[in-house]
């Protein structure tokens, strides 16, 4: 019978998540225990009974059988947030390939419960007249501290103790003696650290909701009708930029909360949190909280405590907010669901979209994905009918989509313009400065200097085997990050013979300097990784721009997501090609999404907007369709390419990264994995590429080899992963040296 032994982790809320301990399952519990169940176990030298959670059932003892202790009992009614977390961690471990500990640490973003903050208030126990008389009595006795406090309390019956000990300079000893005399009382109250900015300003006033358009109402009605019927499904809302997706989210959440449920709203960047949070707070007040990496451990701990106790209904934040311990979860919304930041870059390499689906299954909740430019995965599933599609095709403000100009930088070069600003962009910037309107300049820095192209004709050096661009390496070679193909760096363009061949070199700081040189009177704000290091820096920069304290906002992709500035009528995309050639099969999709999002920032109010896209490849289908905001047209071209090359979402791909401090050993291990794979699955028509050296072949003296495996069926790749894990265990290799990544979001 399977499951004679149980690997158990001790109660997470009290003990440090460290490692599982093995226990024997008594006969009366054989067949009853399941992964995730709460059990009582004897622990430590004193065999004190404590609670634990079953992580794994196995027939293999890990220690001498006579020394293995026995499970004492199953905890009655032991289903809890922790149990759900264990089950979810197990699902992540099985689905993505990682250790259980890594999966557990993922689903428990708050590692330790922090000490709660205690707020102390000094309250007067006598009336104001008596308090004043007492102050005079203390004055006569030269007890000035007591006199000072009683005088203040005669005017204000309660005072925060911090003010009393600080500003009034009264010691706690003095307060205690007044307590003993029966004149005052100190009341202690546990308070939560707030994760919100200062909500006392007028901007945070809770107000009414906006009237939905017919189009928006149709989306809400369609989803809520099914929800009330008990149908829990996955929905995709594709709405053009400015079509009011956030209002749809808020209306759905309000209706779900009215049914006694709670909601999680995922947003991709911390930069978006402030504006999203403001809108949700104005609608729902302090039933909303936020979770992100900029919060202190105490603030994070308090938000999770509030969620556990049911004191909040809505949690907003990036990926980690997905694991909020709501007991009555009814809805998860993933805004800008196409964003790469929803995919974890560390083990386990899960995707928030897939994990959210599993959480919704566990909680009988619905999942809503929203985007102006949905990921090909989501739209492909919608076309298949496994996700229900809703569309918002009109801008709310009634404004037209902006006019888009595609500027060919090859022509600019021919006509002697070596500036990074095209002539049209310069003219339009000057025009906006004269009109007192605002502009945003977006530097598409993904794949910074990663690809090599001809500046005269736009030709990009590509891999002949993989149809992705080659990357420039310091050793003077061009390398394909998928199959390992190498060729020496070219000095002349193979297409036109030009010697203008190089990687693009410009950062936001240089653009800021060039702007100030070109327009000395312009007020310029810069938003990038360097200017947003502090906790409140995002909010500060965005507030300054919203308050029209600057004319031009320069930034990387964080400025093009979801922000709404009515006075912005011009958006300039400095280097549209940058993300087009990053040696990654998703490059065209990312470029189309970024350009469409960037264009969507212009003309969101009544003022008409204009967008200038500067590129060396104006004829590329991602650029052409983005300029027209034509998602369908782009999708049709891109999905045909994915089908031809067997790339997701038409097929599935698994990347296997092998790490070793010895280059030869790493490549040998990788080759063994490939040989075993081909032998065990020779009937399954797997497409195996590699092993090859990863794009960055060595990091911190650790060598990196990569294998790509493609197959139409995801379940088949999970079987391959299981077989590889079995081989790793059989060979006695360190499990951490081999990492699995399903449908990776970027090349290795």
- How do residues 711-747 score in pLDDT, each as one tens digit? 999 999 999 999 998 898 888 888 778 999 999 987 7
Does the pLDDT at position 399 exceed 70?
Answer: no
Which pLDDT score is estimated for 229? 94
Helices (H), 229-372: 245-258, 270-284, 297-308, 352-363
5-107 belongs to which homologous superfamily?
PriA, 3(prime) DNA-binding domain (3.40.1440.60)
Confidence category of residue 16, pLDDT binned at 50, 70, 90: very low
Average confidence (pLDDT) over 220-232: 95
Which pLDDT score is estimated for 605? 66
Lowest mean pLDDT among 32-46, 332-346, 472-486, 584-598: 472-486
Segments making up each domain of the chain, as ranges: 5-107, 117-191, 204-392, 403-448+504-641, 652-742
Lowest mean pLDDT among 299-303, 617-621, 623-627, 735-739: 299-303
Tell me the C-alpha distance between 724 and 656, whole Å: 10
Over residues 509-533, the pLDDT tens digits come to 778 888 999 999 999 998 876 677 6
Average confidence (pLDDT) over 366-372: 95
SS3 category, 320: helix
Does this chain's domain 204-392 share its CATH topology with 403-448+504-641? yes
Average confidence (pLDDT) over 592-612: 81
Which residues are bridge partners to 329 per DSSP?
262
Q: What would the two tokens of residue 33 be? A: 């225990």
Does the pLDDT at position 163 exceed 50?
Answer: yes
Tell me the C-alpha distance between 485 and 503, whole Å: 19
CATH T-level assignment (fold) for domain 652-742: Alpha-Beta Plaits (3.30.70)
Q: How many CB atoms lie within 10 A of CB 286?
A: 13
Across 451-460, 481-490, 520-529, the highest mean pLDDT is recorded for 520-529
Tell me the C-alpha distance between 263 and 274, whole Å: 18
Q: How many CB atoms lie within 10 A of CB 328?
A: 15
Q: What would the two tokens of residue 199 be? A: 């909500």
Average confidence (pLDDT) over 452-466: 79
Lowest mean pLDDT among 28-37, 468-477, 609-618: 468-477
Over residues 639-680, the pLDDT tens digits come to 999 999 899 999 999 999 999 999 999 999 999 999 999 999
Which pLDDT score is estimated for 474? 61
Per the document, the length of the chain is: 748
Lowest mean pLDDT among 105-114, 192-201, 351-360, 572-581: 192-201
Closest CA to 379 of 620, 600, 631: 631
Closest CA to 232 of 260, 256, 267, 268: 256
Which pLDDT score is estimated for 37? 79
Any idea of the CA torsion for 442, 611, 575, 241, to the nearest 10 degrees?
60
Tell me the C-alpha distance between 262 and 283, whole Å: 15
Give percent of the chain above pLDDT 70: 88
**Where is pLDDT greater, at 40 or 10?**
40
CB-based contact 250:209 (threshold 8 Å): yes
**Where is pLDDT greater, at 334 or 464?**
334
Tell me the C-alpha distance between 593 and 574, whole Å: 15
Q: What would the two tokens of residue 470 be? A: 């080659």
Which pLDDT score is estimated for 530? 67
Over residues 303-320, the pLDDT tens digits come to 888 888 888 999 999 898
Tell me the C-alpha distance between 289 and 307, whole Å: 9
Average confidence (pLDDT) over 133-150: 92
Residue at token pair 């300097």: 513
447: left (phi over 0), alpha (psi -120 to 50) or beta: left
403-448+504-641 belongs to which homologous superfamily?
P-loop containing nucleotide triphosphate hydrolases (3.40.50.300)
The chain-wide mean pLDDT, for the chain, equals 85
Rg (CA), the chain: 30
Q: Which H/E stretch holds residue 114?
A: none
Closest CA to 125 of 177, 188, 183, 187: 183
Closest CA to 301 of 193, 196, 199: 193
Does the pLDDT at position 50 exceed 50?
Answer: yes
Does the pLDDT at position 432 exceed 90?
Answer: yes
Across 22-26, 60-64, 284-288, 486-490, the highest mean pLDDT is recorded for 22-26
Q: How many CB atoms lie within 10 A of CB 588?
A: 23
Does the pLDDT at position 408 exceed 80?
Answer: yes
204-392 belongs to CATH 3.90.1010.10: no
Confidence category of residue 222, pLDDT binned at 50, 70, 90: very high
Which pLDDT score is estimated for 92? 92
Does the pLDDT at position 198 exceed 70?
Answer: no
Which pLDDT score is estimated for 449? 42
Closest CA to 11 of 52, 59, 39, 54: 52
Order of strands, edge to edge, in the sheet holding 524-527? Answer: 403-408, 610-615, 568-573, 438-442, 552-555, 524-527
Which pLDDT score is estimated for 30? 86
Which pLDDT score is estimated for 637? 96
């Amino acid at each position: 019978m399977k499951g004679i032994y149980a690997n158990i982790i001790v109660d997470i809320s009290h003990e440090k998540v460290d490692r599982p301990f093995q226990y024997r399952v008594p006969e009366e519990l054989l067949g009853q225990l399941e992964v995730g169940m709460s059990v009582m176990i004897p622990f430590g030298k004193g065999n004190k009974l404590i609670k634990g959670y079953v992580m794994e059932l196995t027939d293999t003892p890990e220690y001498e059988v006579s020394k293995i202790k026995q499970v004492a009992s199953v905890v009655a009614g032991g289903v809890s947030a922790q149990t759900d977390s264990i089950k979810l961690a197990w699902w992540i471990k099985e689905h993505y390939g990682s250790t259980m500990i890594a999966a557990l640490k993922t689903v428990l973003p708050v590692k330790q419960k922090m000490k709660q903050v205690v707020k102390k208030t000094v309250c007067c126990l006598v009336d104001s007249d008596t308090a004043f008389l007492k102050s005079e009595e203390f004055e006569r006795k030269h007890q000035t501290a007591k006199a000072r406090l009683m005088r203040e309390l005669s005017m204000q019956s309660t005072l925060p103790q911090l003010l009393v000990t600080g500003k009034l300079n009264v010691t706690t000893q003095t307060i205690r003696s007044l307590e003993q005399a029966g004149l005052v009382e100190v009341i202690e109250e546990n308070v939560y650290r707030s994760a919100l900015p200062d909500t006392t300003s007028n901007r945070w006033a809770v107000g009414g909701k906006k009237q939905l358009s017919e189009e928006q109402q149709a989306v809400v009605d369609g989803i809520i009708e099914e929800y009330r019927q008990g149908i829990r499904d996955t929905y995709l809302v594709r709405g053009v930029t400015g079509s009011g997706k956030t209002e749809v989210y808020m209306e759905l959440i309000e209706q779900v909360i009215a049914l006694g449920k709670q909601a999680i709203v995922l947003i991709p960047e911390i930069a978006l949190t402030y504006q999203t949070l403001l809108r949700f707070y104005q609608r729902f007040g302090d039933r909303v909280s936020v979770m992100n990496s900029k919060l202190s451990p105490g603030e994070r701990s308090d938000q999770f405590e509030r969620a556990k106790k049911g004191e909040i209904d809505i949690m907003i934040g990036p990926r980690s907010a997905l694991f909020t311990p709501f007991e009555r979860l009814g809805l998860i919304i993933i805004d800008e669901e196409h964003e790469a930041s929803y995919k974890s870059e560390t083990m386990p390499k899960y995707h928030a979209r897939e994990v959210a689906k599993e959480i919704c299954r566990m909680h009988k909740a619905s999942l809503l994905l929203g985007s102006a430019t949905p990921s090909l995965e989501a739209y492909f599933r919608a076309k298949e009918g496994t996700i229900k599609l809703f569309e918002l095709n009109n801008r709310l403000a009634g404004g037209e989509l902006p006019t888009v100009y595609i500027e060919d930088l090859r022509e600019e070069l021919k006509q002697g313009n070596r500036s990074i600003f095209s002539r049209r962009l310069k003219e339009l910037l000057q025009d906006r400065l004269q009109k007192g309107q605002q502009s945003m300049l977006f530097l598409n820095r993904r794949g910074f200097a990663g690809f090599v192209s001809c500046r005269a004709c736009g030709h990009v050096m590509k891999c002949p085997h993989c149809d992705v661009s080659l990357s420039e390496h310091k050793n003077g070679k061009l390398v394909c990050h998928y199959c390992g193909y190498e060729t020496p760096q070219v000095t002349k363009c193979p297409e036109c013979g030009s010697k203008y061949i190089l990687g693009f070199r410009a950062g936001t700081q240089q653009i800021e300097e060039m702007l100030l040189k070109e327009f000395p009177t312009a007020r310029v704000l810069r938003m990038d990784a360097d200017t947003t290091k502090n906790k409140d820096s995002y909010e500060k920069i965005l507030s300054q721009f919203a308050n029209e304290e600057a004319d031009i906002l320069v930034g990387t992709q964080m400025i093009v997501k979801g922000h709404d500035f009515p006075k912005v009528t011009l958006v300039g995309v400095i280097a549209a090609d940058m993300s087009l050639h990053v040696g990654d099969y998703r490059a065209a999709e990312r470029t189309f999404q970024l350009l469409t999002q960037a264009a969507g920032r212009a003309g969101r109010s009544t003022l008409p907007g204009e967008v200038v896209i500067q590129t060396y490849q104006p004829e590329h289908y991602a650029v052409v369709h983005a300029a027209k905001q034509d998602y369908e047209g782009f999708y049709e071209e891109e999905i045909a390419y994915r089908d031809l090359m067997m790339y997701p979402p038409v097929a599935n791909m698994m990347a296997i990264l092998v790490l070793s401090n010895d280059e030869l050993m790493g490549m040998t291990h990788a080759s063994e994995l490939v040989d075993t794979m081909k032998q065990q699955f020779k009937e399954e028509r797997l497409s195996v590429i590699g092993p090859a050296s990863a794009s960055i072949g060595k990091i911190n003296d650790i060598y990196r080899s990569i294998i790509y495996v493609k197959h139409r069926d995801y379940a088949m790749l999970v079987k391959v992963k299981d077989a590889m894990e079995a081989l790793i265990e059989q060979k006695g290799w360190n499990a951490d040296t081999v990492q699995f990544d399903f449908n990776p979001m970027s090349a290795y």
